[in-house]
Amino acid sequence: MRLKIAQAGEPVLRQKARELSVEEITSAETQALIAHMRETMRDAPGVGLAAPQVGIPLQIAVIEDPEELLAAMPAEQLAERERRAVSFHVIVNPRIAPSGEKTVDFFEGCLSLAGFSAVVPRARKVRVECLDEQGRPQVIEASGWYARILQHEIDHLHGTLYIDRMRSRTFMSLDNFNRFWKGKSIGEIPGAAE
């Protein structure tokens, strides 16, 4: 079942989501929610979806950056973004910490801000401690685009949207991004080096 994706302005997107117990994670209700979130993310299409984005203030996110999405991108863009395929997985009750000082700027979009994009600075590497969809402890060490996805989705669990972190002069419609800036380096985007 495809779920309705909440849009900016809906209160659930600005709340801190509640943590889940292992019993809650493994319940039939939560497992069904995860399955519906996976279907909704893939249908959108997107590379991540947090429970608050479907109106449920719980600390759950689904993530997947499938090979099919990467196949259409030029090799130099994949290399610049350090973007590699990421298999489907679930993070619950995540704790995130940057690994190192380096940040990188790239455009981000969001299913809850449909039709817009902006340059967002993010840590290049992160370490995430979380539970998986069975309530088992996991440690994820991520870099590049995968680290960006994790940061974006974990922000959703704390009521933060990318527009709170963006370089505001780069905010634009996707139509204008595709018309004027797609394929350009970040350094060529006005306001990207604030």
Residue-number span of the structural domain to which 45 is assigned:
11-102+123-164
Task: Specify the CATH number for the domain of residue 73.
Answer: 3.90.45.10
Look up residue 138 and give its amino acid: Q
The residue assigned the tokens 């302005």 is: 9
Residue 96 lies in a domain: yes
Please give the pLDDT value at position 52: 98
Please give the pLDDT value at position 140: 98
Residue 1 lies in a domain: no
Q: How many domains is the chain partitioned into structurally?
A: 1
Give the 3-state secondary structure of the chain.
Answer: CCCCCCCCCCHHHHCCCECCCHHHHCCHHHHHHHHHHHHHHHHCCCCEEEHHHHCCCECEEEEEECHHHHHCCCHHHHHHHCCCCEEEEEEEEEEEEECCCCEEEEEECCCCCCCEEEEEEEECEEEEEEECCCCCEEEEEEEHHHHHHHHHHHHHCCCCCHHHCCCHHHCEEHHHHHHHHCCCCHHHCCCCCC
Global pTM value: 0.95
Residue 151 lies in a domain: yes
Please give the pLDDT value at position 127: 97
Please give the pLDDT value at position 170: 94
Please give the pLDDT value at position 93: 98
The residues of the chain scoring below 50 in pLDDT are none
> Mind listing the pLDDT tens digit for each residue in 77-108?
899 889 999 999 999 999 999 888 899 999 99
Residue 118 lies in a domain: no
Residue 90 lies in a domain: yes
Residue 45 lies in a domain: yes
Active site residues: 153
Please give the pLDDT value at position 183: 80
Residue 191 lies in a domain: no
Residue 35 lies in a domain: yes
Q: How far apart are CA 63 and CA 53, in angstroms?
A: 13
